[in-house]
Structure 1
Amino acid sequence: MPIPDFIRDIRATAGHQLLWLPGVSAVVFDDEGRVLLGQRADNQRWALISGIPDPGEQPAAAVVREVQEETGVECVVERLVSVRSGKEVTFPNGDVCQFMDVCFRARAVGGEARVNDDESLDVGWFALDALPTLTDYHHFRIKQALTDEPTWFEPMSIG
């Protein structure tokens, strides 16, 4: 994932230390019930489409933009699926980040799935019974997007 200019500016003074960053992701379905995935260029793994909102950008607008930029697919957000803090990640260049992921369910309304930028090696629609290897967190978000349950979040514990 290319580093947004505003993060590059922060890194110029913060170095590689941990940055707490917003993130958005989308479980995008087409009319056949297939889910849109991209094979990431940075780690070669299949994943839901995700990205970082620009300063001042609303999360739903950011996820629509990210889906279009990365895959050529136009989508509309249907609902919020989950809000979850991820684990600390160290990138090959030494940068350390932790993302707060805001995940949305979305529906494709136009465009053709294709590699649309340098962030993906491949892009495609997958039937739910024929998904490529994904992390548990990807499976979790897909499952949540398929339910009518309220938005998922980690409950607060007292004590």
Structure 2
Amino acid sequence: MATPDFIRELRATIGHRPLFLPGVTSVVLDEDGRVLLVRRADDGRWTLIGGIPEPGEEPAETAVREVEEETAVHCVVERVLAVEATDPIRYPNGDVCQFLDISLACRAVGGEARVNDDESAEVGWFTLDALPPLSEHALERIRLAGADEPTWFAQPAAQTLR
């Protein structure tokens, strides 16, 4: 995920201190039930498509924009899969971020999957029984996309009844 200009401007002021940011993860499926994945150029890992919304941008707009920017695939957003605060991440340059991630199920409606920017080394469609190594986060989001379940979110640690 390339760093948006507004984040670079913030970093110029706050340095490496933690930032809590919105993030959007897209699980894009095609008509054959295959999932669209990208292999990151920076670390070589296969992953779902994700990105940071621009100021004022709706999460669904972010999903559609990021998928097209990274893969040239056109998609529509169908539903919210999960909402969660991720663990903080420390990047090699020392920046610390934590994301409030909104994961969305998307359906491919056009375009041809290809590397479409400098963030990805490869782009591909994968059947669910032939996925490359993926993070637990990605695997769970793919599972949720294929399940008929309500949106997942972490329950509060202790709920009190009134």
Q: Does 1:41 align with 2:23?
A: no
Cα deviation for residue 92 of structure 1 reads 1.1
Q: Which runs of 5+ in 2 are unaligned?
A: none
Residue 154 of structure 2 corresponds to 154
1: distance between equivalents of 2:91 and 2:115? 23
Larger mean CA deviation between 40-49 and 66-75 belongs to: 40-49
Tell me how large the CA RMSD over aligned residues is.
0.8
Residue 60 of structure 1 corresponds to 60
Cα deviation for residue 64 of structure 1 reads 0.5
SS for the counterpart of 1:43 is: coil
Residue 17 of structure 1 corresponds to 17
Q: Deviations over 1:57-92 (max 9, x none)?
A: 000111110000000000000100000111111111
Normalising by structure 2, we get a TM-score of 0.96
Q: Does 1:114 align with 2:102?
A: no
Q: Deviations over 1:5-48 (max 9, x none)?
A: 00001000000011001000111000111000000112110000
Q: Does 1:145 align with 2:145?
A: yes
Residue 99 of structure 2 corresponds to 99
Q: Does 1:2 align with 2:28?
A: no
SS for the counterpart of 2:93 is: coil
Q: Which runs of 5+ in 1 are unaligned?
A: none
Number of corresponding residues: 159
1: distance between equivalents of 2:145 and 2:43? 25
Cα deviation for residue 2 of structure 1 reads 1.6
SS for the counterpart of 1:129 is: coil
2: distance between equivalents of 1:22 and 1:81? 15
Q: Deviations over 1:90-112 (max 9, x none)?
A: 11111110111100000000000
The one-letter amino acid of 2:42's match is D
The one-letter amino acid of 2:2's match is P
Cα deviation for residue 156 of structure 1 reads 1.1
Cα deviation for residue 157 of structure 1 reads 2.4
SS for the counterpart of 2:153 is: coil
Where do residues 130-141 of structure 1 align in structure 2 (5 Å cutoff)? 130-141=130-141
The one-letter amino acid of 1:39's match is R
Q: Deviations over 1:122-156 (max 9, x none)?
A: 00000000000001111101111111111000011
2: distance between equivalents of 1:113 and 1:80? 23
2: distance between equivalents of 1:84 and 1:113? 28
Stretches (4+) displaced over 6 A = none
Identity of aligned residues (%): 60
